[in-house]
Structure 1
Amino acid sequence: MFLKIFTVFAFIGAASCAFAGEQPYNEAQFTKAISHGQPVVVWFHASWCPTCRAQQPIVDRLAGSAEMKPVTVFVADFDKETALRKSLGVAGQSTFVVFRHGREVTRSTGETDEQAIRATWEKAL
């Protein structure tokens, strides 16, 4: 019985990871995605930021949605990813930088309306 329960929970955990479109920023993976022209959103997040906390459930819903499945969402720690911040010219946390075909197409800072965030992300597709 224990093995059966363990197997079910393992499957649920694996399935949730498979559908989650967000991942911690990784320079090599980001560079690869951009160079291959994949749709990418980089979210500059800070744990201390109230706007980021308000964005989190929206990001989770969008990243896990079927329509956004092709989009890779990299979560960049605003305080740690200073080189990335500088290279992209990002001045504030709670910023989404959206790429399509290897080029930045739009960005948004401080937005907490789900439809507005969705519209921003859709530009990656």
Structure 2
Amino acid sequence: MITRRHLLAGLAGISVLGLVAGAAGALEFIDYTGTELEGLADSGTPYLINFHASWCPTCAAQQRVLDALQGESAAYAAIPILRVDWDKYGNSELARSMAIPRRSTLVLMQGTSELGRLVAETRKERIAALLDLASS
């Protein structure tokens, strides 16, 4: 006979499994606040700057593609992603100095050098090709 205790324990276990499964496929972003860029540039490793807006459907499509690519490749998963909120920083010195034309712009950097960029691109093969520049 299933008791209330067994039922609650089972439901809790299912909830935990759902959280773990969801977290495994979720990208981890570093949210830009103005101080993170220097640390990434000094690290010497390639990093992706993602100019996004929460309401932007193109940005959401890019995020889904990045999430899928991260799940497919440890090399892609190792690339830090700096997420820059377009609504806050679209007119910032960072966006102006990098000549960012709009939200949904992805820029792959190493140090202070730009390796490549995509604007409003959502095709998986194009985003993968950008990330592949990190290992070139």
Shorter-normalised TM range: 0.7 to 0.9
TM-score by length of 1: 0.78
RMSD, aligned α-carbons: 2.9
TM-score by length of 2: 0.73
The 5 Å alignment of 1:1-125 reads: 5=12, 9=16, 12-13=19-20, 16=23, 20-64=27-71, 65-81=73-89, 82-83=91-92, 84-125=94-135
Percent identity at matched positions? Answer: 29
Report the CA distance between 1:41 and its aligned residue.
0.4
**TM-superposition CA deviations, 1:64-98 (whole Å, max 9, x none):** 44121321011111111132211211011110011
Listed as ranges, the gaps of 5+ residues in structure 1 are none
Report the CA distance between 1:16 and its aligned residue.
2.7
- Mapped partners of 1:103, 1:48: distance in 2: 29
Larger CA Rg, structure 1 vs 2: 2
How many residues were matched structurally? 125
Instruction: Give the conservation status (yes or no) of the 8 Å contact 1:21–1:71.
Output: no
Residues 70/91 of structure 1: CA separation in 2 closer, same or farther (3 Å cut): same
Q: Which amino acid aligns with 1:53?
A: A
Listed as ranges, the gaps of 5+ residues in structure 2 are 1-5
